[in-house]
Amino acid sequence: MSRKYFIITPRTIRELIFSYPSETGRELRMVPGLPLIGNLLQLKDKKPHRTFGRWAEEYGPIYSIRLGHSTVFVLKDLNDTSLAKEAMVTKFSSITTKKFPRAWKILTAKSMVASSQDTMTDNILRSLHTHAMENLLEPVNLREICKLEIFGLTLKQAFGKDIQSSLYVKGLGKTFTRDEIFNILVIDPIVVAIDMDWRDFFPYLSWVPNKSFEMKVQHVTMRVQEVMKTLFQEQKKRISMGEEVTAFVGLLLSEGTNLTETQLIKLIWETIIAGTDTTLVAIEWAMYELAKNPKYQDHLYREIQKVCGNSKYAEEPLAYLSAIFHETLRKHSPAPFDPLRYVHEDTQLGGHDIPAGSEIAINIYGCPMDKEQYDLPEEWRPERFLDDKYDPAGLFNTMAFGSGKRACAGALQAKTIFCTVVGRLIQDFEWSLKEGEEDDVNTGTLTSQKHNPMLAMITPRDNSHLSTGLA
């Protein structure tokens, strides 16, 4: 019987016992950690973007940490010659691969490869007007109203059709409500994706089973696959019967792509989850800030009235609304932490040697909180983006959409939906926070969604019936 031997060298011992990587080039500061596990315990609250921000104040715009076996260089600053943009753009050829957690790899399985919008916005406004007429003294949960409407929009864009009320999923042998489908396709995958597998940090122990984690991820993945398969097959049937489907699925099928059905389904699902969650998070935070700050709300309303009068706001370019969009993404980026990027060849960042095999963490949250770049960065102040140094029509005034070749492809759509919804909400209603809401700013773990939904009091404006068609 043959035997396998593990050869222990001095280098292996050093990597296993000590949490500090060797340094070359310019002096690079390291966050002290523990033997074997490095800095993992210091990140146990699952809000690495905030911890990285605190460390940056002490260790500078680039520093290193140890996450189990891996050496990670954390980048923060956001000047024109920033380290973050250097990593994303200038050194793209050396730092190209995003390293996703094990859960997200299983979920996506290597698949990365305007009338509906008006209807969505009208439906949101109609629900708010109904609430105002029937429950004027009760606060409104904007997230609850918006989530299924935004979800419906992404379904129409993906499949050309929304789920009306329920969907029978043959592979699961059950009929699901629209709200349950939302949870299966959007909420559950996000929850499981942030549940780290300890084997991600100790690859030499990847052979050790982690059954509870694997079963949870596989359960979520199976439900996503079966629901998406049902939706996909429905649309293929419509197309085979000669119906024209103006949607993402129709484009993919008509192009005769070499992707398998499983890959097509995963690709379409990614557009749904990305288009729903991030847009919802950004809109809720913007409305929280506007309800909290009447002067900003009044400023936006006056701008809308000046341009639109009593006509319904419909994507007209408004400088102040654009500034609100960028300021919201700056302070409340829906994805505050970029997936780790793998360094596959020796390179340099900011004059520091970055060895192949290490990883790069870009703290999206920390970049726009730089006090040297922004005056009072902890405050939400839209007027900062009215400065001539920012492009009012730009999409990349912050790092929220990334940069370079891996920049977010949905940036323009995100801005369009955000501005249309927020503009219409302010055009039709005066907003104020429910008592006690002002201090409720806790967020989730690896996302920046408010931990508790925003609760606000709304009062219809005098001209709101002209905007919505509701008399």
Higher pLDDT, 409 or 65: 65
367 is annotated as contributing to ligand binding: no
Confidence of residue 257 (pLDDT cuts 50, 70, 90): low
How many angstroms separate the most distant Cα atoms in the chain? 86
d(CA 187, CA 313): 31
Q: Is the pTM of this model over 0.85?
A: no
Per-residue pLDDT of 278-317, as tens digits, reads 889 999 999 999 999 999 999 999 999 999 988 889 878 8
Average pLDDT of span 45-49: 69
Confidence of residue 446 (pLDDT cuts 50, 70, 90): low
Confidence of residue 447 (pLDDT cuts 50, 70, 90): low
Say which range, 204-208, 260-264, 382-386, 458-462, has the weakest mean pLDDT: 204-208
Higher pLDDT, 17 or 103: 103
Average pLDDT of span 110-131: 77
The percent of residues in the chain predicted with pLDDT above 70, rounded, is 75
pLDDT for 10 equals 38
Average pLDDT of span 436-465: 80
Say which range, 5-9, 34-38, 113-117, 431-435, has the weakest mean pLDDT: 5-9
d(CA 51, CA 316): 39
Phi-psi region of 429 (alpha: psi -120 to 50; beta: other; left: phi over 0): beta
Q: Where is mean pLDDT largest: 162-176, 255-269, 409-423?
A: 162-176
Higher pLDDT, 131 or 395: 131
